[in-house]
Chains A and B, each alone.
Chain A
Amino acid sequence: MSQTSIDPRSLRAPPRRPIRLSWSDERVRGIFWQVVVVGIVVSIVWWLWSNTVHNLEVRRIATGFGFLNREAGLPIAESIIDYNPTNTYLRALVVGLLNTLKVAVVGIVLATIFGTLIGIARLSKNWVLRTLSATYVEVIRDLPLLLQLLFWYAILQGLPGPRQALHPAEGVFLSNRGLKLPWIQWEGAHSLALLVFVVGLVATLLYRRQALAKQMADGVPRPIWHVALLALVALPLAAWAALGAPFTPDIPALRGFNFQGGLTLSPEYFALLAGLVMYTAGFIAEIVRAGIQAVPHGQREAAQALGLRPGKVLRLVVLPQALRVIVPPMTSQYLNITKNSSLAVAIGYQDIVSIANTTLNQTGQAIEGIAIIMLVYLSISLSISGFMNWYNARIALVER
């Protein structure tokens, strides 16, 4: 490029012709059609808006978000934060949002694990495993999610009561009151240990990055496992021990007509989570399978020929290339889980949609209620796709 002498002026864009006010000028036509389309859209929106304003006046509905500070008076069965019906609508909606996040985050993690396992099982050399997972994927993807949720909920409701609860393992009870699991009594020491672990995780990642940069500079590999061990295991354990190493198992037990203690998954939450995870895992399995199959066989063979061990072949050669195919469709599955969690309203789990719906029925603030739902989902969607785009850019092929 540099050898051939090109007049730099010729690389510039061609000079813009002045716009002639004529139908044969492409730009004039473009501007005309844009004005027409925007004009139509704006007038439709304006027409709807003026109708709405008029209707609200006729029905004497005051617009605005003032209702958020009024007493909600709506009972919520499960909540992460303290809540009672005398709290405001705002707090009720926050509870709903947290419930949505609770099911979405846990659902994303479980569906990823479950779906990846099934996707790998579909490529297994074992015929039973392969056929079984293929059947699972086909059946689960051909049934509406809402039907599956209602089905799981019907099964949970058909379970025996607490006294005859299914009792597969010590401290685990499955009854029509939901799933009971053993847990520990959460104390300050546990929170501190968790905090130290998170800080340690960040520190380890930073250290790993530095070690890799140094290795890139001089070629000497620097192991990081001792730092990881210290920051992720030893320090959190030390923090926990420093506060007296409290450990009190909290095992559910039947007292009277219901269970006491332990961790509770309500039937609604359990049905929603099970339905979402099983449904989405079917889609994730297909994505994972396609991703693994997209890596050419020669890549694996070349890595083996270089003398890499099977673990390293998978970690350094196959996975990075498979992830490039997997991540974009996986993002839309994560978005789908989040959006599909709104089906909670059909089985009575009180997520943001359910609570906003009750709110708009109680207050008559239809526009505000739906605006809140849409705003919440738009922001969750944008955050997830923002994060996944960042991750995708990180693992993308670096080209010239």
Chain B
Amino acid sequence: MSTTAIANPIPTPARPAPITLVGPIGWMRANLFAGWVSSLVSLLLLFLIVKWALGFIEWGVINAVWSVPNNQTQACRDLRGTGACWAVITEKHRFILFGTYPYEEQWRAFAAILIFIALFIVSALRRFWRKELLLVWVAALGSIGVLMWGGVLGLAYVPQERWGGLVITLILATFGLAFAFPLAILVALGRRSRLPAIKALCVIYVELIRGVPLISLLFMASVMFPLFLPEGMNIDKLLRAQIAIILFAGAYLAEVVRGGLQALSRGQYEAADALGLSYWKKTGFIVLPQALRLVIPPLVNTFIGFFKDTSLVLIIGIFDLLTAGKTAIIEPAWQGFGIEVYLTVGFIYFCFCFAMSRYSQNLEAELNRHRVR
């Protein structure tokens, strides 16, 4: 043994792994054809995927009708079941995006949508997580209000009843978050308070709201709310729905924030007490900055939930993106093309939610980097 080692001091290079274990073939053997059950599943699924994809392309691209003259939908009706009628989108896309906003002024609604998107992107970048971001939010939401209402700077006044489409969805979700978040922090702090009356109030609020569906709160906003106010005082429907969404979001966000407060180690609280900080200083300088950082990923996930849940205002007849889509196919000429419209509206929702969910996953990985070895 030892003599051979001396006689042959240069080690022979390791033989390459068999071609069936590395490279594309190895990958396929490990991931597609490991055993006959796995092979069968792979082949069956691949067959079904290809079949459905081809069917969808045939329906959605090859046989599809992209435009029709003057609401003459006969060409579409002839193709029912074999081809998509994207003409309904060509014809109605402005209505789906902007609702009944005056046609010449729709650039304003479009600009508002762009401001919303820019606001989301700026808020998502960690570089901009500073106090000044709050000012950016105030400025952005203010300019959206000016753009939508008009009446100043030479913009024609557009009453709120005529707003609609995507911009309503964005307004409900963003304003909902902007107001629900401070509420949620207060409630979460209240729920962990040592003062029994405050704790009880917060627990009742959270459990009551979380125990009932959002629809019942929206019904309450649309049917019962007018009874709550003194005679003559009237709040428009969109604002009432917005209040319901804020109350609803507040309860769910409060639970997320409470999770962060609980995850913070006790030593942090005690150290702040030992420094002699008052309750609000302790909360503002020590507790919240750490607790909120812990819960950013679940906060984003909760926000995705609200973004989707704003579609429920359809039930009380507020003109958001989904309602606009549903209304676009009420006209007799366009009846029966629901699938095309819902696919399009779904695609818009998907773009927003997918971006947020990817962002949340990246952020989670980034914030947990110190924990991963």
Contacts and interface: CB of A to CB of B under 8 A. Distances in A.
Contact of A138 (B49, B213, B336, B354): B354
B3 to A, nearest CB: 41
A340 B213 contact: yes
Main secondary structure of the interface of A (DSSP, over half): helix
Which of the listed residues A37, A132, A345 has the most CB atoms from chain B within 10 Å of its own CB? Answer: A37
B330 to A, nearest CB: 13
A57 B126 CA distance: 55
A150 interface: yes
Given A342-B216, A353-B215, A144 B322 contact: yes
Contacts of B80: 158
Interface in B184-203: 194-198, 201
A126 B32 contact: yes
Interface string A329-357: 00000000001101101100000010001
A367 interface: yes
A374 B350 contact: no
A142 B314 contact: no
B227 A146 contact: no
Interface residues on B, range: 35 or more
B242 interface: no
B20 interface: no
B72 interface: no
Given A142-B354, A144-B309, A378 B208 contact: yes
B219 A373 contact: yes
Contact of A126 (B41, B211, B213, B312): B41
Contact of B342 (A126, A150, A343): A150
Interface stretch (B135-143, B228-236, B364-372): B228-236
Contacts of B339: 151, 154-155, 158
Interface residues of A, number: 55
A234 interface: no
Given A38-B201, A378-B212, 19 more contacts: A52-B228, A56-B227, A128-B42, A129-B41, A138-B357, A139-B350, A142-B304, A142-B354, A147-B342, A151-B339, A157-B338, A342-B213, A343-B215, A345-B215, A369-B223, A370-B220, A370-B224, A378-B208, A381-B211
29 contacts: A34-B195, A34-B198, A41-B201, A52-B228, A55-B227, A126-B32, A126-B34, A127-B31, A128-B49, A141-B357, A144-B349, A146-B322, A147-B311, A147-B322, A147-B349, A150-B326, A151-B343, A153-B338, A157-B338, A339-B213, A340-B213, A353-B216, A360-B223, A366-B223, A367-B224, A373-B212, A377-B211, A381-B210, A381-B212
Interface of A: 30, 33-34, 37-38, 41, 48, 51-52, 54-56, 58, 125-129, 132, 138-139, 141-148, 150-151, 153-155, 157-158, 339-340, 342-343, 345-346, 353, 357, 360, 366-367, 369-370, 373-374, 377-378, 381-382
